[in-house]
Amino acid sequence: MEGRDKYSVLLPTYNEKENLPIIVWLLVKAFTESGYDFEIIVIDDGSPDGTLDVAKQLQTIYGDSKIVLRPREKKLGLGTAYIHGIKHATGNFVIIMDADLSHHPKFISKFIQKQKEGNYDLVSGTRYSGNGGVYGWDLKRKVISRGANYVTQVLLRPGASDLTGSFRLYKKQVLEKLVQSCKSKGYVFQMEMIIRARQFGFTIGEVPISFVDRVYGESKLGGNEIYQFAKGLIYLFATT
C-alpha cells in the first residue's frame, strides 16, 4: 500500500522568495528521509518580489516531477488556491501548509503515521494539545489565538483542538469535497474546513506541532483579521 501512496504538498505563496528555497529544501529532505513519494505544487499569486523566479530555479534543481509550478496572475485567496492546486495534484493525499517556515516539514511523517493508524480522512496539526506550542508570538497574539480557539470550541464543538491552523493532511477526495463546500475567506477558511468535515462525518486525527512565527516578511494578524474572524464565527454558528 505504501508504495502506491503519494503526497501532494500545496504551497500557496505571496512574496515568499526568501522562505521558499528553505521550505522546499526541508520538504525534499523530510520526504527523502522517510521514503514517501511526493510532489510540491507551488501556487504563486503574482508575487511582485520574484517568488516565481525563485520557484523556477528550484524546479531546475529538483526536477519538474517534484516541483510543479501552477502560478496565477494575482492574489485570489486561499480557497481558490487549494482548488487550483488539487486540479493538478497527482497524489492520493494532499498536504496543506504555509510557505513562510511557520510549519516545519519534520512533522509530516508523524501526520502520515497518524493517518495510517486510524485511516483518518484528515489529520490536523495542533498547537493546543500534547506538546504542541507557539513560538515567536507576543502575549497579545497568544491571548487572541487562544481566546478565538476557546470561543470556537464553546460555540461550535468541532471535535478538534486547533481550528485555525493551516498545517493538515487530507485524503484528496475529502479535501475536494470540503473546499467546494466552504464559503469563508482568510483566517476563517481553515476553521470552516474542520467544521464542515465534522458535518460530513469525516474522521479527524491530530498531531501536536510547534508553530514558529514567520521568519521573513510581515505577519498578517491585525484588527481587520479579528473582525473577520468574529464575523466568520457568527456565520458558522448560524449554519451548523
Q: Please state, in angstroms and rounded to a whole number, the distance separating the CA atoms of residues 18 and 14.
A: 11
pLDDT at residue 186 greater than cutoff 70: no
Phi, psi (rounded to 5 degrees) for 173: -70, -25
Residue 17 has φ and ψ, to the nearest 5°, of -65, -30
Assigned domain for 1 exists:
no
Q: CB burial class (10 A; 0-12, 13-18, 19+) of residue 170?
A: buried
Domain membership flag for residue 206: yes
Instruction: Confirm whether 38 is domain-assigned.
Output: yes
The pLDDT tens digits of the residues spanning 221-239 come to 455 656 666 676 677 667 7
Provide the grid cell at 141. 497574539
The average confidence (pLDDT) of the chain is: 83
Residue 216 pLDDT > 50: no
CB-based contact 124:204 (threshold 8 Å): yes
| Residue 93 near residue 115 (C-beta atoms within 8 A) | yes
Nearest to 86 by CA among 187, 193, 3: 193
**How sure is the predictor about 215, in pLDDT bands with cuts at 50, 70 and 90?**
very low
Q: Which segment, 44-58, 118-132, 176-190, is predicted with the most confidence on average?
A: 44-58
What gap in Å lies between CA 204 and CA 140, rounded to an integer? 29
Q: Element (H or E) spanning 169, and its range?
A: strand 168-171
Partnered with residue 31 across adjacent β-strands are none
In terms of pLDDT, which residue wins out, 81 or 135? 81
pTM: 0.81
Q: What was the pLDDT predicted at 189?
A: 83
Please give the Cα distance from 199 to 213 (Å, whole number).
Answer: 31
Residue-wise pLDDT tens digits, 93-144: 999 998 888 889 999 999 999 999 999 999 999 876 666 555 555 666 666 6
Answer yes or no: is pLDDT of 63 > 90: yes
> By residue range, what is the domain housing residue 89?
6-238
What's the number of domains the chain is made of? 1
Q: What's 226's domain CATH number?
A: 3.90.550.10
Q: Is 161 a residue whose pLDDT tops 90? A: no
Q: Is residue 212 part of a domain?
A: yes
Closest CA to 37 of 11, 14, 17, 8: 8
Tell me if 209 is assigned to some domain. Answer: yes
